[in-house]
Structure 1
Amino acid sequence: MEFGVPTAQQLAEFFLAAQHPLTRRWVDDGARLALLAEQRSDDVLLATDVTVAASRARRFAPRQPAQALLNYWVAAAADLHAMMSIRYQGLDPAKPFVDATVLSRPFTADDMAALAQAAAKTYGTLQPRYLRLWSAAPASRFADTIPDKRFLAAPVTALRAGAGQPVPTGLGLAPASSLEHYTHARAAYDAMATKHPGHPEQAGIADLEDLQDNLANGTLFDVTIDDRWAGYLAVSTNGESLGMPAYIVEELVLATPFRGRGYGPYLTTLLARALPDATRILVGTIHANNQGARHAAERAGRRDIGGWIQLPLQRSQDSAESTPDHTDQR
């Protein structure tokens, strides 16, 4: 396996070993490995299917050969391999980065330089801005890195108990029947961007098409306050769940007039009570710098179980002109 692509099952085993110990008590390892293997199959596909790589090259880097867009199982050290993938933040071709979510063992601060060097060697021609790594450790553990999104989660059954105080009178949640208030939800994000210019880098409204899918699946909810529409909440059972059977929060937004009133923790409580399967885990990603949203989630009972960090990569003309050797890394 040193120079070959691991199987999805092997990647699942590596990733499970890196998970927060708390989550190992929430879900049986056997069931979790099965889900992780399914989720990690895309890594194998992107490492072996040149047709897919060619399609990605046409979309993001038309001057590059298909092989430049493949995933690679890269040796960063004698005892550390990483499944590296070129990604594009917000699907913007001008914002490439290298993802290394799955490693052969949990990384430490001492591994950072070697991982950065391996990422630059593998994808230097694409000029990636940073290397994204996943760890169950707190974001503050790693110096000289930039915070990214954190996973905050808890079993639905535990969240139904509430945030320690009764839900405020007048605050409610009900299945949505339409998306007539989407423009108001978008306006709330626009207002936040005006007030906090860095907010769009942390969170953005879900696409209308995605929310239409939520509506059709019965997983889009209207937040109401005194019988007035006040926001949207949406979940999905598909997406990055760290291998847990989960409801994944895809949208949580309050209209501008209702923000700043302390409703956040109670929305999680109401959502947990509205979801039909109490055996699932409620999982949502919140940017590490979005302290208000993080505190609201934690007050509701969700726990920080890990997240991504960004390790800046040096972007130079020399690296842009280099030709990484991919022949021994697949």
Structure 2
Amino acid sequence: MVSMRFEGLDPTKPFVDATPMTRAPRISDLPALAAVARETYGIHNPRYVRLWSADPTIEGTQPDRRFFAAPISQLQPHDVPPELTLVPASSVDHYDDAQRAYDAVVAAHPHHTEEASLQDRDDLAESADEGFLFDIVVDGDWAGYAAGVHKPEDALGLPAYVVREMILAPKYRGRGYGRHLSALLAQALPDHTRILIGTIHSANQGARTAALTAGRHDIGGWLQLPLPQA
């Protein structure tokens, strides 16, 4: 089944979603998938077909987002620096600081805009209201946000909390804090019988390494099959 989608509801970024499929896509399937997408939705000039695959790469496709997950019971913090803590946040008072943190990353790595962006203020406020937003604190100073959300539609049908946000301010990057954040967030959430799951772009090597080091696993994700542009 194929359907028309738009990245972030942006009409200038159309793509075709190919799902569900009865089996994993193969290289031999790609020409037929591209032909169906062009025939069905060519009027929108979609940029690519998005495919789900357990494999991180298929020849002829480009990387997209991957799902990283683990049971919260297995995400136990180890060797956390004593100055690093998570503190429940009752508001989004540091939202502008978080936006500046993202802007600093984009200034240094312009491609980052395609890999991640700061969650909407209202979304983080919702997490705060539910008790799922946390200030990352280093030596008593605000250093970033970590947030979860109970959003079944983004959890692949699993009993899971979804990682909604994880951002460190520039001055706290490069200190090895990132690898501890998944476990700290997991243990701060109320129901430890659940799974912690979230998406990370394949090109975001730092975030992928931090998630894997924390004990989360790549359980599958999307690939992009480029389509010729009119």
TM, length-normalised to structure 1: 0.68
Match of 2:172 among 244, 251, 258: 258
Distance 1:155 1:89 in 2: 29
Code of the residue aligned with 1:156 in structure 2: it is: I
Aligned to 1:88: 6
Code of the residue aligned with 1:115 in structure 2: it is: L
Deviation, structure 1 residue 105: 2.3
Match of 1:185 among 98, 109, 116: 98
Aligned to 1:152: 68
Code of the residue aligned with 2:68 in structure 1: it is: L
Q: What are the within-5 Å matches in structure 2 for residues 15-34 of structure 1?
A: none
Q: What are the within-5 Å matches in structure 2 for residues 1-330 of structure 1?
A: 83-137=1-55, 139-140=56-57, 142-160=58-76, 162=77, 165-238=78-151, 239-316=153-230
- Spell out, residue by residue over 1:146-180, the C-alpha distance to the aligned partner (whole angstroms, 9 max, x if none): 110111110000002x3xx4111110001102211
SS in 2 for 1:260: coil
Deviation, structure 1 residue 194: 0.5
Distance 2:81 2:20 in 1: 42
Code of the residue aligned with 2:137 in structure 1: it is: T
Code of the residue aligned with 1:199 in structure 2: it is: H
Deviation, structure 1 residue 256: 1.4
- Spell out, residue by residue over 1:9-38, the C-alpha distance to the aligned partner (whole angstroms, 9 max, x if none): xxxxxxxxxxxxxxxxxxxxxxxxxxxxxx
Code of the residue aligned with 1:111 in structure 2: it is: D
Question: Going by fraction, where is helix more abundant, 1 or 2?
Answer: 1
Structure 1 runs (4+) deviating above 6 angstroms are: none
Higher relative contact order (CA 8 A, sep 6+): 2
Code of the residue aligned with 1:92 in structure 2: it is: D
Stretch deviating more after TM superposition (109-118 or 302-311): 109-118
Stretch deviating more after TM superposition (294-303 or 176-185): 176-185
Distance 1:228 1:169 in 2: 13
Deviation, structure 1 residue 101: 3.3
- Spell out, residue by residue over 1:80-111, the C-alpha distance to the aligned partner (whole angstroms, 9 max, x if none): xxx21111112211111001131122222211
Distance 2:45 2:107 in 1: 30
Give the CA RMSD over aligned residues.
1.1
Distance 1:85 1:175 in 2: 40
Distance 1:107 1:144 in 2: 12
- Spell out, residue by residue over 1:172-230, the C-alpha distance to the aligned partner (whole angstroms, 9 max, x if none): 00110221111110001000111001001100000001111111111111110011111
Aligned to 1:35: none
SS in 1 for 2:122: helix
SS in 2 for 1:248: strand
SS in 2 for 1:128: coil
Larger radius of gyration: 1
Code of the residue aligned with 2:223 in structure 1: it is: I
- Spell out, residue by residue over 1:23-62, the C-alpha distance to the aligned partner (whole angstroms, 9 max, x if none): xxxxxxxxxxxxxxxxxxxxxxxxxxxxxxxxxxxxxxxx
Question: Going by fraction, where is strand more abundant, 1 or 2?
Answer: 2
Deviation, structure 1 residue 259: 1.1
Gaps of 5+ in 1: 1-82, 317-330
Gaps of 5+ in 2: none
Distance 1:279 1:120 in 2: 44
Identity %: 54
> What is the aligned residue count?
229
